Amino acid sequence: MAYAAGAAAAAAVAQAVKASGAIVAMEPQDFLTIVSRCEKPLVVIASGGVFSKSFRYLVGYKGFVFHTSSKTELMLPGKSEVVHARSIWIPG
């Protein structure tokens, strides 16, 4: 029974990865480089954390979704459009 539940969970994660496409995890400074390359970046931000605050970011660029997390808030370029999300979940 536990094996079936684990297999179902793995299948759900695999389906989520297929639905979301490629998500590229990177360091905050590299993320800012990608954002600066975007003409009109749409950046999704979620903050949270139980014991220490953290910030998670997503941006789309050339068909890929780039993701980073940081303990401090990133200084985004002024041309960035920002959407604040309750949370960001990355499958995997």
Say which CATH number the domain at 56 has. Answer: 3.30.720.90
pLDDT in tens, 3-20: 555 555 555 555 555 555
pLDDT in tens, 26-67: 999 999 999 999 999 999 999 988 888 899 999 999 999 999
- DSSP assignment of 56-92 equals EEEEEETTEEEEEEESS-----TT-EEEE-S------
Within a domain: residue 3?
A: no
* Number of domains within the chain: 1
**Residue-averaged pLDDT of the chain:** 84
Number of residues that this document lists for the chain: 92
**φ, ψ for residue 56, nearest 5 deg:** -120, 140
Within a domain: residue 8?
A: no
For residue 60, the enclosing domain spans: 21-84
- Identify the CA nearest to 42 among candidates 76, 7, 87: 76
CB 71 within 8 A of CB 52: yes
